[in-house]
Amino acid sequence: MSDDPQNTRERRSATASRLFDVRLVIGGLFAVYGLVVTVAGLSASDADLAKAEGININLWTGLGMLALAAFFLVWATVRPANRTKERP
């Protein structure tokens, strides 16, 4: 039994669109950079905090980036890029 060539192409197209979904790329980059900035915020010195008037900017920015990364990654998981359409 061989697969229909059209069906095979549709499956390959769906796989390719999931692999190169821009939401995954953006979410991954925000996760990496957010982790780096969060670690920098956790190791901030008193001099760094004094420059920012007592606010740990790196920590809050890193946590915000991690939250945005989680949003993009969950969004890509919950709503895949290429849904197969029902044929009549």
Residue range(s) defining the domain that contains residue 43? 22-78
Closest CA to 56 of 45, 67, 70: 45
Q: Is 44 part of any domain? A: yes
Q: Is 12 part of any domain? A: no
Total domains in the chain come to: 1
Least confident of 5-9, 13-17, 42-46, 75-79: 13-17
Give the model confidence (pLDDT) of 60-78 as tens digits: 999 999 999 999 999 988 8
Query: What number of H helices and E strands is found in the chain?
Result: 4, 0
Q: Is 87 part of any domain? A: no
Q: In the numeric block, which tokens belong to residue 51? A: 């420059």
Q: In the numeric block, which tokens belong to residue 82? A: 């290429």
Give the model confidence (pLDDT) of 33-64 as tens digits: 999 999 999 999 999 899 999 999 999 999 99
Q: Is 68 part of any domain? A: yes
Q: Is 73 part of any domain? A: yes
Q: So what's the pLDDT on residue 16? A: 62
Q: Is 1 part of any domain? A: no
